[in-house]
Amino acid sequence: MDLSRVTIVLVRPSRPANVAAACRAMKNMGLRRLRIVEPPAGLDDRDARAPAYKAWDILDAAEVVPTLSEAVSDATLVAGTTGRDDAGETWSPRELAARAESRAAGGGIALVFGPESSGLTSLELGLCHVLVHIRTDPAQPSLNLAQAVLLFAYELRLASETSEAPRVANHATAGELEQALQELRGALLDVGYLDPLNPDHILVELRRMLARAGPTPREVSLLRGLARQVGWAGRVARGGKTTP
């Protein structure tokens, strides 16, 4: 999904610092377009602007729109946030992110947030196509406005990255690990740690532990260097040769 198609709409936000913090959260996640219905006083104050750290461009470009209807008029999908989980069918942020693309069908997506204390009215929710809800803990269910904006933006961003290239793991092969283990085995015999009558009992445990870690080639070569040096010390300590 193309994140430039998403508009965040804040309806009657009461605290300018929350608007500013929402701008930073939006920019963190690659959203750019903000519309505000009835912005609070003091949005230009220096202190209020501070939370929009390095996202002042978004704050400055925010469009002030007289009504919610006008703020969402160019969207093909309007999602309204609600703090109530008894509001009928609601989508989670993840569900919205998964479905927004097909539901918006190439058009704009408006994501609407109500005032901090009261949320969107039923009338305003009635203007929305779908309701979205973040499940929180009953002990403190109320998210800060900018925090709610962040969670939706985060999910939309992740959904927009669906085509990301698979991460290439960089694990040593079993053969490479085994070579290091055999060198360790020799060194730990030299040093008197493994019992020469039954060295493999403990080696099995070391192998299992190291294999669980999935060592990288670099780590395998560290282990081999370690084995070399330990083996040298063992042979010297037990009266053998003296070159490492």
Q: Which of 6, 9, 11, 25 binds a copy of itself (CB under 8 A)?
A: 25
Piece in contact with a copy of itself (CB under 8 A), picked from 39-47, 70-78, 106-114, 190-198: 190-198
Distance CA 244, CA 140 (A): 63
Helix axes 174-190, 217-237, angle to 10 degrees: 20
Structure-token match 């070579």, residue found: 179
Question: Does 140 help bind a copy of itself (rule: CB under 8 A)?
Answer: yes
- Residue 222 DSSP SS3: helix
Q: Which two tokens stand for residue 97?
A: 């992110």
Question: Does 59 help bind a copy of itself (rule: CB under 8 A)?
Answer: no
Question: Does 133 help bind a copy of itself (rule: CB under 8 A)?
Answer: no
Q: Which of 27, 33, 35, 224 binds a copy of itself (CB under 8 A)?
A: 27
Helix (H) or strand (E) holding 65: strand 63-65
Size of the site for a copy of itself (CB under 8 A): 59
Helix (H) or strand (E) holding 211: helix 200-213
Distance CA 97, CA 14 (A): 27
Positions touching a copy of itself (CB under 8 A) are 21, 24-25, 27-30, 51, 53-55, 89, 94, 135-137, 139-144, 146-147, 150-151, 154, 157-158, 161, 170, 188, 190-193, 202, 205-206, 209-210, 212-215, 218-219, 222, 225-226, 229-230, 232-234, 236-238, 244
